[in-house]
Amino acid sequence: MVKLIRKLAVLGGIGVATALTDGGHFETVPTYPTPESSGTGWEVAFQKATDAVAKLNLTQKVALTTGATMGLSCNGNISPIEEIGFSGYCLADGPVSVRIADLATVFPAGLTAAATWDRDLIYQRGKALGAEFRGKGAQVHLGPASGALGRHPLGGRNWESFSVDPFLTGVAMDFSIRGIQEMGVQTSAKHFIGNEQETQRSNTFTEDGLEVAALSSNIDDRTMHELYLWPFADAVRAGVASVMCSYNRVNQTYVCENSKILNGLLKDELGFQGYVVSDWFATHSGVASAAAGLDMTMPGAMNSAATAIFPTPSYFGGNLTAAVLNGTLTEEKVNDMARRVLTPYFYLKQDEDFPSIDPSTGFVFARTYNYPDIYLTGAGMDPNNPPPARDVRANHADIVRKVAAAGTVLLKNTNNVLPLGKPKNVGVFGNGAADVAQGLTFTGDDSGPWGPNIGALSVGGGSGAGRHTRLISPLFALRGRIEDYGGRVQYLLDNHMMVEDDFTSIYPTPEVCLVFLKTWAREGTDRLSFENDWNSTVVVENVARRCNNTIVVTHSGGVNTMPWADNENVTAILAAHYPGQENGYSISDVLFGEVNPSGRLPYTIPKKESDYDFPIVNITGDAARVSAAWQADFTEGQFIDYRHFDARNITPQYEFGFGLSYTTFEMGSNATFERKCAGISPLPPRTNGTHPGGNPALWKEIGSVTVTVRNTGDLAGAQVVQLYMAFPQDSVPEGTPVSVLRGFEKVSLRPGEAKSVTLPLRRRDVSFWNVVAQDWEIPSGDFEFRMGFSSRDIKTTVTSSFVV
């Protein structure tokens, strides 16, 4: 361990941001005081918030920072204050839907949106989500997520976020936030930060009452900045209203009371002007958390025994009031917290005709989780008279269908078996093809480690899920399409039968066999296997042995191994991720060629499980009772996913950024570089004041790379032009990745059409985090800018330097 830590120090891991404990783990250096908000970028709203706070007494100001316990209509609430015209906050899950509501759309997962590599579609998805939250009367959308980033391929919540790459995730955060907030709904960027596994993500209690601390994610300074903090900078730059601090510890301290993380990185370095809200029950202290930068505790109570009618004490509330009165906490600190809470309310004009909360959501919540009627009556509702639900879906099914199809990645297409023509005899196999046997409203909470047995997956489980008003299964969509032209559909949906090799009901042998596999992922647990669930490999092998035109579709919450990928009878493979409620229609559109697949992998698919070597920390037995044992040392630094594969020279099954099309493309061999600035200094110029996103100089375009791409096939299609950058290796610290994504653009082309594509480079993109200077530095020497169609399919390279 000592040698490992010394090596990490050489990587630039310690600096002034972290120290080492006696046990050899990183420890956060305290950072005080909290930078006061200045309202930069939100000046008018900030002044309104300042004026409003001046009219409040201490108890009212503290109420703005303290959840009003868990209600039935919202996941969290801040009580209204009539004196200042504040209608209160309804905070609602989640990243893909107004989670516990009727007549709301279930959108594709963040992972699926990232697989589109399409800024406009990501924005349109966000805008539609914002419209539905507004329609239901929820001021705060608890999303989007950029953590978990995806350090662990088996992380249970990877699907809620976008990509394992910080650049791609940062772009998705930016466009999602702008889309949602355009509709007047606040966003909450989460989970900040280092929440990379679900196992022991939070403190737990043993049967005999012993408290065991949450896992500590031990992250060095440079890795924090260049990997995990990167997409949150994009979120702050985009104007995110709030940031949700996560359950875990970072460098031994709980994030929601970690002054280096909240005061230092978020509010000072990134210039965040909004409020920090805790994840639910992630607060562990009152004054200490407030001083460290926490502005709002949710759901308000200390523990999960709280309900709308049985409140329990809060770490904030009366405790903060008492702390001010006895001099432990200054009232000006509470004033800053309250200003931060109110500023987004005025900035997004939520004081102007914002819809009331849909009263039906309380009934939906109670009935979904079988709450007794006392919960409804305690909240002032009549259990025998549920109000009608407010329908907020509009035409959003169309957006779901487009995003899901665009996020489907074609991985294999032997002899162009896809798109399908009009096969007369089609076989549909696998328990991922059918309607969910448990019905539309299953919560997934009691589905075990693999989710429901029979039924299509649209999203994963937990607070990031959605409640379906409709869910189109692949079998439903395919039967409608195939039977419409006179074709025949045979099917087997029970994986156990196929594992037992029982295909007696299938005759004659289908011309094409479509196998639908699935992988369940959810909050609270991590995945158990890289392979798809429900004996997927045996299912594929047994179908393919009978059918020499077997097409496999996976609906998955993350990375899978595909041991059957090279089977010659498996002629095509599509990774369709979690597609949302239009599951069947979107995959049918791709299979039959109404949509030319243009998705690209936002992660790397390995040939075998051992290609990844970042195991989930999972301690069992008596050792699990020791808090100090729960440590995750991020000793790999920045080398996760494709950066790891590149550094170890491992050949993947399918690389990051990979994806096929029904047409073909070529890229010109002569990329050109244009420098936008002369006389660039290694370190950015100093700036006064705070600026959302950090030093404005980091966001200035200082160069660009241009290439030409042409559609050389017979069909219209879209290609993703990708820019990977290699730092000058002689002038950067050890631990710098071989190549990193620094630009992309999706380009639609007609047959024979060519377009010139220019990808900008900002100072931030060509800098590394100097842990001594505590700033972003552009190294001297020649950079390589590698243009291509994936991380390993590089077509042309151009070199240039910035600093002489």
Asked whether residue 369 falls in the same domain as residue 435, the answer is no
Q: What is the DSSP letter of 123?
A: H
Indicate which CATH number applies to the domain containing 732: 2.60.40.10
Q: Are residues 372 and 505 located together in one domain of the fold? A: no
Give the residue among 519, 578, 512 at the shortest CA–CA distance from 551.
512
Q: Looking at residues 687-695, what average pLDDT do you find?
A: 92
Domain for residue 589, yes or no? yes
Look at residue 552 and give its three-state secondary structure. strand
Q: What is the pLDDT of residue 362?
A: 87
Per-residue pLDDT, averaged over 665-677, amounts to 95
pLDDT tens digits, one per residue of 110-162: 999 999 999 999 999 999 999 999 999 999 999 999 999 999 999 999 999 99
448 within domain boundaries = yes
Q: Provide the b/e sequence for 18-41 (b: ≥16 CB within 10 Å).
A: bebeeeebbbbeebeebbebebeb
Question: Do 338 and 446 have their domain in common?
Answer: no
In this structure, are 455 and 311 located in the same domain? no
In a domain, 646, yes or no: no
For residue 679, what pLDDT is reported? 81
What mean pLDDT, rounded, does the chain reach? 94
Q: For residue 545, what are the contacts with CB-CB under 8 A and spacing of at least 6? A: 569
What residues are paired with 76 via a beta bridge? 91
- Residue 345 in contact with residue 39, Cβ under 8 Å? no
Check whether 391 has a pLDDT greater than 70: yes
Question: What is the structure's pLDDT at 470?
Answer: 95
- pLDDT for the residue numbered 348: 99
> Minimum mean pLDDT among 137-146, 608-617, 703-712, 786-795: which range?
608-617
Residue 426, beta-bridge partner list:
489, 512
Residue 12: pLDDT band by 50, 70, 90 thresholds? very low
Q: Examine the domain organization and report whether 422 and 368 are in the same domain.
A: no
**Which of residues 542, 577, 595 is at a domain's end?**
595
Region of poorest pLDDT, from 7-16, 480-489, 771-780: 7-16
| 110: nearest Cα among 60, 176, 45, 166 | 176
pLDDT digits (tens, 9 = 90+) for 277-326: 999 999 999 999 999 999 999 999 887 655 545 557 899 999 999 999 99
Distance CA 335, CA 149 (A): 33
Q: What is the pLDDT of residue 438?
A: 84
Q: Are residues 181 and 279 in the same domain?
A: yes
Q: Domain count of the chain? A: 3
Mean pLDDT, to the nearest integer, of 727-740? 96
**Model confidence at 14: pLDDT above 60:** no
User: Does 374 share its domain with 412?
Assistant: no
Give the CATH number for residue 534: 3.40.50.1700
pLDDT at residue 95 above 90?
yes
Tell me the three state secondary structure of residue 532.
coil
Known catalytic residues are 279
- Cβ atoms of 406 and 598 within 8 Å: the answer is yes
* Mean pLDDT on 157-179: 99
Residues 441 and 367 reside in one and the same domain: no
3 pLDDT band, cuts 50/70/90, is very low
Q: How confident is the model at residue 678 (pLDDT cuts 50, 70, 90)?
A: confident
Residue 703 lies in a domain: yes
**pLDDT value of position 445:** 52
Compute φ and ψ for 725, nearest 5 degrees: -120, 135
425 plus 561 within the same structural domain? yes
Q: In this structure, is residue 395 part of a structural domain?
A: no
**Residue 620 placed within a domain:** no
**What values do phi and psi take at 760, rounded to 5?**
-80, 155
More confident residue, 5 or 741: 741
What percentage of the chain exceeds 70 in pLDDT?
94
Strand-pairing partners, residue 55, are none
CA distance 141 to 92: 6
Condensed to tens digits (0 to 9), the pLDDT of residues 423-455 reads: 999 999 999 999 998 888 765 554 567 777 889
Which residues are CB-contacts of 337 (< 8 A; sequence separation ≥ 6)? 61, 64, 65, 275, 290, 295, 296
Does position 68 have pLDDT exceeding 50, yes or no?
A: yes
Structural domain harbouring 13? 2-378
Residue that is last in its domain, among 575, 595, 615: 595
Q: In this structure, are 765 and 699 located in the same domain?
A: yes
Q: How far apart are CA 79 and CA 48, in angstroms?
A: 19
Q: Has residue 357 been placed in a domain? A: yes
In a domain, 607, yes or no: no
User: What does the pLDDT look like over 342-377, one tens digit per residue?
Assistant: 999 999 999 999 999 999 998 888 888 788 888 788
How confident is the model at residue 15, as a pLDDT? Answer: 39
Q: Is the pTM of this model over 0.75?
A: yes
Give the CATH number, domain containing residue 244. 3.20.20.300
